[in-house]
Structure 1
Amino acid sequence: MKGLKKKRRIQVLLVAAIALAGSTALVGYAMRDGINFFRTPSQVSELPPAPDEVFRIGGLVEEGTLARGQGETIRFKVTDGAASVPVSYAGVLPDLFGEGEGMVGTGRFVDGEFRATEILAKHDESYMPKEVVDALKEQGVYQEPDAELATN
């Protein structure tokens, strides 16, 4: 009787472990397209990602590069101070999007151009996405918003 209980307990633990591993694998498989890595323009320039890889890029919209083409396509360059990457986007830009402002885009890097499917801009005058702030700090071009107000 004791051996049968022990055997049944081991079987239950084995089934539970297999179920846990299976559910973890299913969750990972379902999320494979939902995980987008963040890259700076410098990282994209140094090691361009594959054309089928979806990722996020962030930085400042370079001054003098925002051009609205025929139709809905908008072209501009995003920079982190060290490198610039051309971006094209077909769609409606956020209201607060503009030159010299922070942005994060989601899309693919194809033929030397980032083709964005989504563009996010800051939502007020002092906000910038954390990833963009960190990247700009690494490049040494970021100034705290309070420091800008003190100098004005």
Structure 2
Amino acid sequence: MATPYEKRRQRKLFLTLVLPAFAGAVALSLVAISQTQVYAYAPSTMPTRQELGTREVRLAGLVAEGSLRTGADNQVAFIVTDGVADVPVTFTGILPSLVAENEGVIAQGKLGSDGVFTADTVLARHDENYEAPEVMKALEEAAEKQAEY
């Protein structure tokens, strides 16, 4: 059986070693989470450059009609809109094939001091009801055959 002195010693050991280690692990986890967190904004809710600082964010909306421009060296420029506000976007790279005018897009990057959003990554947004063109064609053909009978 442990004496009161040994119990006190175990408690001291716990408080001086285990508790600070646990607190340090929690603090490191919170810092890592805050640094990797990326917020998403629509053009009408996008904070100013001063509010964002150097923080990387996501911009989600539609590619405005007539705004998609492709230049030399895979330079792409377009405007993301939500019907209320517009944000010009630049991107260097190859766009996903589903990115088109009047289609949904998500751009991840930083807002420049000139108000232009510089994207590192561009993703196409689509609804959850997407079906492959081959499947759609087969369903249409089956519906036509059924209508014939």
- Bucket of the pairwise TM-score, normalised by the shorter protein: 0.7 to 0.9
Among candidates 8, 18, 32, match of residue 6 of structure 1: 8
TM-score, scaled to structure 2: 0.74
Which structure would you say has the larger RCO, counting Cα contacts within 8 Å and 6 or more residues apart?
Answer: 1
* Aligned position for 1:21: 23
* Aligned position for 1:114: 117
Cα distance, 1:53 vs. partner?
Answer: 1.5
- Is the 8 Å Cα contact of residues 68 and 78 (structure 2) preserved in structure 1? yes
Matched letter for residue 4 of structure 1: E
- Is the 8 Å Cα contact of residues 107 and 121 (structure 2) preserved in structure 1? yes
Say which SS state the counterpart of residue 4 (structure 1) adopts: helix
Superposed, 1:25-104 pairs within 5 Å as 25-44=27-46, 47-48=48-49, 49-104=51-106
Farther-moved stretch of structure 1 (115-124 vs 59-68): 115-124
Say which SS state the counterpart of residue 71 (structure 1) adopts: helix
Identity of paired residues, percent? 37
Q: Which runs of 5+ in 2 are unaligned?
A: 131-149
Query: Separation in 2 of the partners of 1:59 and 1:115?
Result: 15
Matched letter for residue 124 of structure 2: A
TM-score, scaled to structure 1: 0.72
Cα distance, 1:8 vs. partner?
Answer: 1.2
Q: 1:17 to 1:125 in 2, by over 3 A?
A: closer
Q: Which runs of 5+ in 1 are unaligned?
A: 128-152
Query: Separation in 1 of the partners of 2:125 and 2:23?
Result: 40
CA deviation vs aligned residue, 1:2-60 (integer Å, no higher than 9, x gap): 1331341243145222111111222333444421111110122x634445111111011
Number of residue-to-residue matches in the alignment: 126
Query: Separation in 2 of the partners of 1:12 and 1:73?
Result: 58
Q: 1:64 to 1:119 in 2, by over 3 A?
A: same
Identify, as 1 or 2, the structure richer in helix. Answer: 2
Cα distance, 1:126 vs. partner?
Answer: 4.4
Q: What is the Cα-based RMSD across aligned positions, in Å?
A: 2.2
Cα distance, 1:120 vs. partner?
Answer: 0.6
Cα distance, 1:68 vs. partner?
Answer: 0.9
